Chain A
């Protein structure tokens, strides 16, 4: 095998000057040089060190270094752990701000974004990243920054619509995404109705989505990996930042715990939607209200140059209260409180120049408490799940052409499907659905081989294992859903159902002349947990249920091929990817299935298969005053269930034939930036009635007229298409003093959502008025043109 030199493999240095650095006239005086240090993924490098003559200065958490220097020409070196150093010369004759990019020494597998050459030379295909700086520039509804919403502007990643919680990647369901917060799975990544995700923009560093060719270190979900990384705190000085928006505010504080060695960052956010709503409609809002808060905390401790500890904590809580006491019927009250609590501790160790490892211990908790009353009827209900996870990952860089990764994962799942009791004397019971326990484990190994300077292969194997265990009691049910009277009892640790599967992963990159490459990948994924939901909105009543004796794990296979090319010396990038994915053991619930307090929830499920294929085109402009991208997806996603649609394939609800997104950022001046977004998508597929009939007929002797109930007749599943979804959003960012060297800095974001006031239907329905003998179709839309303003600050 040919030896391959490092210089042939990597572009060592990448320096991008954002602003002009030279003025010809100069004076013998000091000027302020501000350097923004970021890695190739545009992610700020917080530990970078600047060296000039004999001076040294360390970047803050945002990667900024501010230094006073006399007029003249200076030789500067910037270095950071894990990155190649970068040396350059600068002519300084006035206050200047420049951006310096450091190339990561890490494998090309981590944190590479849609930036120069990355997609062309990186083996990992079907991957796209956005850093928080990019995300913050884009217009969003109510001005609320949301990384999870923004990634749906990338091809192949679709949202279910406005206020829809789900993210649908290449035809997969919303529960098929492995959403990770600093490597820790998040079960419910959204606050109510999906208006906001649980990821606070103040705490997030970047977000990456892997749609295909999923590396062997990831598993447990079929369709994608959505990895959100949070920022590290500043190790030198106490700093703060925050934002005040129309419906929420956030604040972040960071600083050293032990100067130079240890830091923390604490970010918190709370909405005041309920208070804003009352301002607009106090009479109609009444006691109804909703708010959420969340807190992110991260701390790190550098034990020595080779060992570091990291602590990640997240806690979020939603509180929703609804009261309907109008005269139409009995008073209805609904109160739900739910949230995630995540705690992770990891130890990163560099054993030698070639070997490193990371050991992580995680506790992950989701809880829901609901109180419902309808007249005198009512009950309280609680459910949740807790995970305990141990993870160990190793990386061995054997040589410049060979790298190995291997690792182990063990998770203990505790499912609490539900416990309820009546509180109004209706049907008096106190009961709990039997808790369930499961063990999930996986081991993986993968190798990254540069076979020739042109050909790179990553081959991996993940072997996963799932075991539902006791203690539990299982009531046995007949085919008609009635209990047989028999109960199966399992002792603690006794096996109920066991599954294990190999999950091969393979990807290959072939570099072509002219900064182009082709890539192919194959991925097999297994998912052992299923989300039990019947609604389009991920509501907290949704339950995660484990594979068991009746529910088999879901499986998927995906092949993808793509062509990638850089143009204009890296200023432009384009890619075209095609994929074909099959999915088996897909789970749906019978229409009207009862999910809460149902011991026989498995009896409410039906199983089928799925198929998805498509073509994704992506073109990005990365430099200049105008940057942005255009993404287009042509796709088809369908499901086949023997018990639905006469066993014939039908479109998935979120099957989207055409999906277009155009994102543009334009630097108007040093103070003003403008951004615009255009999205277009084929409408969702729906099942609409094809006829009507009456049932439960009777005759009212007093009123001398028949009484009956009018019901709908349905035929094919998802045979109706909603109108196409499209809108344009704009935002303007105003930074009053962009070159200010003062500690306190602020900026304003003014946004306009849906500027041409498109009435994209949130849902449609038939308004049937039997008394007036009329039937009228209706559409309800959420967001007309909406202005937003957010004031961001940092100090």
Chain B
């Protein structure tokens, strides 16, 4: 049965026409595309369990289910190297690590299929894959008979000078219980060189034990470039509300521009709706045929704060 309801605004613009706009179910016939390999790969300098590669496939638009379609049995390697003055990579083949589909003891319920870790996380966790600031990393994948490569750089971390809490507000949960929450402000000095870009993550309370970068809290809305504030002391207050008394582990990831651009496109693609939006495709930093995704080098600095 078709449903009919009056639509009261998708966004600010539509509010204007809300009193006459109506919405109906509509059969949109779309063409299916060839499945694409999706690569989600990370290397960071602080948390070895957060250095992993996830391989999955895209599916037809109307195909049931929203879980990822893992791609198992692939060969995945990460190699450390340097970028020489002549702009050529020199990879240290002795540093090559093969990542495999394993279940981690450190991460309960960690998915096995399609998620590739350094096996040393199980056997020799002290020497597990860990990124070094200033180094470059090569990702090589062999999956379903095809080869893919990508590179990323681990920049020098930008220290978090301090964190503070404030900007209190009263939040209401689904049961209409109210609670006073606070927002976190981060202070840091932007490096004098222009072109620095950052991403912001945190874990706390209920998400403290979550696995993966997608399991952490993040602020996708705050611009993370220094084009308008180069070299200044920066103060950013995140909108997210934290429970008073909670301990927050805060991460600031200094990232190279192509990684920032990728996550910027991710933010636009995830928020891609409304009548006036132009469809946004995820950018791609992976070389190969019919592939999308990013090899993200996160150069992390971190601080903890108890929310007051």
Contacts and interface: CB of A to CB of B under 8 A. Distances in A.
Contacts of A773: 64-66
Contacts of B25: 776-778
Nearest to A280: B19
A377 B229 CA distance: 17
Contacts of A324: 9, 12, 15
Contacts of B293: 695
B235 to A, nearest CB: 6
Interface in B188-213: 193-195, 197, 206-207, 209-213
A691 B35 CA distance: 8
Contacts, number: 285
A775 B24 contact: no
B59 interface: yes
Given A481-B261, A689-B61, A779-B23, A273 B16 contact: yes
Contacts of A761: 26
A483 interface: yes
Interface string A746-772: 000000000000010111111000100
B61 A775 contact: yes
A278 B77 CA distance: 62
**Chain B: interface residue count, which band?**
35 or more
Contact of A699 (B172, B183, B211, B227): B211
B214 A696 contact: yes
B239 A377 contact: yes
B204 to A, nearest CB: 12
Contact of A778 (B26, B32, B110): B26
Interface stretch (A262-270, A521-529, A707-715): A707-715
A376 B194 contact: no
Contacts of B301: none
Nearest to A372: B12
Contacts of A782: 17, 20-21
Contact of A707 (B32, B215, B266, B269): B215
Given A534-B278, A690-B61, A692-B63, A709 B216 contact: no
Interface string A273-296: 100110011001100101000000
A783 interface: yes
A597 B214 contact: no
Interface string B210-227: 111111100001110001
Interface string A419-454: 000001111110100000000000000000000000
Nearest to A759: B24
B20 A692 contact: no
Given A480-B257, A485-B193, A688-B28, A699 B215 contact: yes
B28 A777 contact: yes
Contacts of A693: 36, 38, 56-59, 68-69, 292
Given A376-B167, A700-B215, A777-B25, A714 B275 contact: no
A685 to B, nearest CB: 12
A695 B275 contact: no
A765 B273 contact: yes
A535 B30 contact: no
Contacts of A580: none
Contact of A692 (B17, B59, B239): B59
B223 A427 contact: yes
Contacts of A795: none
Contacts of A568: none
B23 A426 contact: no
Given A689-B30, A698-B211, A711 B270 contact: yes
Interface in B288-304: 292-293
A762 B21 contact: yes
Contacts of B281: 591, 713-714
Contacts of A710: 66
Contacts of A429: 228-229, 232
B247 to A, nearest CB: 16
B26 A698 contact: no
Contacts of B269: 592, 711-712
Contacts of A425: 167, 185, 235, 237
Interface in B13-57: 13, 15-28, 30-33, 35-36, 38, 40, 54, 56-57
A701 B9 CA distance: 35
Interface in A682-729: 687-702, 704, 706-715, 719-720
A491 interface: no
A677 B203 CA distance: 61
A713 B239 CA distance: 30
Nearest to A425: B237
B12 A690 contact: no
Interface string A563-601: 000000000000000000000000001011000010110
B135 interface: no
A531 to B, nearest CB: 15
A761 B108 CA distance: 48
B8 interface: yes
Contacts of A402: none
A759 B20 CA distance: 12
B7 A780 contact: yes
A193 B33 contact: no
Given A374-B239, A689-B61, A697-B40, A281 B32 contact: no
A778 B10 CA distance: 13
Contacts of A534: 276, 278
A695 B30 contact: no
Contact of A780 (B21, B185, B193): B21
A493 interface: no
A89 interface: no
B157 to A, nearest CB: 18
Contacts of A698: 210-216
A709 B214 contact: yes
Given A537-B276, A711-B269, A775-B62, A701 B19 contact: no
B275 A780 contact: yes
A91 B53 CA distance: 96
Nearest to B239: A375
A647 interface: no
A219 to B, nearest CB: 30
A786 interface: yes
Nearest to B260: A482
A692 B229 contact: no
Interface string A461-489: 00000000000000100101111110000
Contacts of B132: none
Given A427-B235, A591-B279, A780-B22, A599 B228 contact: yes
B212 A691 contact: no
11 contacts: A429-B229, A696-B213, A701-B109, A701-B210, A702-B210, A706-B67, A708-B68, A709-B214, A714-B279, A762-B21, A766-B28
Interface of A: 163, 192-193, 195, 273, 276-277, 280-281, 284-285, 288, 290, 320, 322, 324, 327, 330, 332, 334, 374-377, 424-429, 431, 475, 478, 480-485, 534-537, 539, 589, 591-592, 597, 599-600, 687-702, 704, 706-715, 719-720, 759, 761-766, 770, 773, 775-784, 786
Given A284-B18, A592-B268, A714-B279, 7 more contacts: A322-B12, A425-B235, A689-B61, A694-B67, A697-B68, A764-B28, A776-B25
Which 5 residue pairs across A and B have the least CB separation, nearest first?
A698-B215, A698-B214, A777-B28, A698-B212, A690-B33
